[in-house]
Amino acid sequence: MGATGAVMMTDRLQHLIRVGDQQVSLPDGISLSQWTLEKYRWQNPRIRSLMGCIKLLEGVLESNYAILHCSPARLHEIWRQVRQVCELMRTELVALLDYPSVMPQLEQARQNVQAALEMLEIHVFDELERFPSEVPSGRMIEVRKLLCVSIGKLQAFLQDTFGELLAADPRSMHDADYFLSRRFPRDIEEAEWLFASVQDLKSYLRDVEHTRYARLTEVVSLIRRDQTLPVSQTWNDLKLFLSGLIEELTPRLNEMLALRGIRFYEMEILDQYADDIPNKARQIVELGDTGRKAIEFIKQARGDSEAHRQQNMQDLVDLHAVLSRRIVSLLGDIDRCLQDLWIFIPIWQQNIEKRRALMLHRDDASKVLEAETVQ
């Protein structure tokens, strides 16, 4: 080999790095010494900092439902850990992102992360700073709701940042997702489980829709027209329908509220239905059963005189009217809830499908590899 060939071979070797058992070329114009310096001074520390924040946040990644209902002691623990993650991001990560990269793709990623971090400062860090370091006892509800929103934003930022910086890293083996975090499969599993649960709920509600009009809407119209409690068969059919909502729909909604993949605004909507529908159904059953007993008691007390009998008749009319108005109001609320829920489910399903698509957009799940350490 001549001198010129030896120089070319040396120059080519200076632009190659080893990743596992493969050799990867650096971009044109970037030497091995430049990349080595940046890797050890900035890029590896950035990755370690992000991994540290992700690990800390994973320790408090409860479902929104759990955050809203956890004990005060657990709430304090979550609050302290979230603030610690924010402090690390505002100090350590910000400092590591200040240094430009010699790699064009990595430099673009660094700038994108900086811009996202500035937005996070406004919409998360500043909001958290409005509260003292220890949760005020009189503002726990505010803190719970703020944590639900903030943790979701922090998690999204950390995952997106981690993926973007590593995709631009020459060791990423050209979009083979070499550095994808272990959380990716869990996020996919949670999204799939939530999607399957919504599918199951949709199937159940489809069956409810087939009987809702006859068992609920028509009964509301009948009671409103006659201003009396329905006859025994109609009442028993109505009770059976309401019992189904309490015993079948409510457990489904409560199970979905506890899933980690559910978003805060979705949880708020679902939580309202999970509370309103069974509570109002129980009120209707109790009012109807108690009212029917009261009506039977009045019917048996006929009275000894015409005046007494007329009074009893008026009491019956008044009792029917009062009970029927209240039951009609509650039944109407349940009817609207079921209709709204039926409309909400397809929209919710589409949103979950979009989230699943975004998570799987970069590559097929079968290509996902896990990295324990940064080489």
Q: How confident is the model at residue 30 (pLDDT cuts 50, 70, 90)?
A: confident
Show the beta-strand stretches assigned E in 185-243: none
Residue 360 has pLDDT above 60, yes or no: no
Task: Yes or no: say if 292 and 275 are a contact pair by the CB < 8 Å rule.
Answer: no
Cα separation, 109 vs 180, in Å, equals: 16
pLDDT number for residue 22? 55
Q: Helix (H, G, I), strand (E, B), or coil: what is residue 251?
A: helix
- Residue-wise pLDDT for 132-142, tens only, equals 888 878 888 99
Cα separation, 284 vs 215, in Å, equals: 14
Task: Yes or no: say if 192 and 356 are a contact pair by the CB < 8 Å rule.
Answer: yes
Residue 367 has pLDDT above 50, yes or no: no
Task: Yes or no: say if 179 and 171 are a contact pair by the CB < 8 Å rule.
Answer: yes
Helix axes 218-226, 232-244, angle to 10 degrees: 140
- Residue-wise pLDDT for 177-204, tens only, equals 434 444 555 555 666 778 888 888 999 9
Task: Yes or no: say if 32 and 26 are a contact pair by the CB < 8 Å rule.
Answer: yes
Helix axes 250-257, 264-300, angle to 10 degrees: 150
Model-level pTM?
Answer: 0.53
Cα–Cα nearest to 230, from 323, 298, 160: 323
pLDDT number for residue 84? 94
Cα separation, 353 vs 38, in Å, equals: 39
DSSP assignment of 257-293: HT-TT--HHHHHHHHHHHHHHHHHHHHHHHHHHHHHH
pLDDT number for residue 262? 77
Cα separation, 231 vs 288, in Å, equals: 11
Helix axes 183-212, 250-257, angle to 10 degrees: 160
Q: Of the ranges 17-21, 33-37, 38-42, 338-342, which one carries the lowest mean pLDDT score?
A: 17-21
Residue 122 has pLDDT above 50, yes or no: yes
pLDDT number for residue 365? 34
Cα separation, 86 vs 151, in Å, equals: 10
Mean residue pLDDT across the chain: 79
Ranges of each domain in the chain:
44-172, 189-359
Say how many C-beta atoms besides its own lie within 10 A of residue 174's C-beta: 10
Burial class of residue 90, CB neighbours in 10 A (0-12, 13-18, 19+) = middle
Cα separation, 79 vs 220, in Å, equals: 47
The DSSP letter of residue 23 is: E
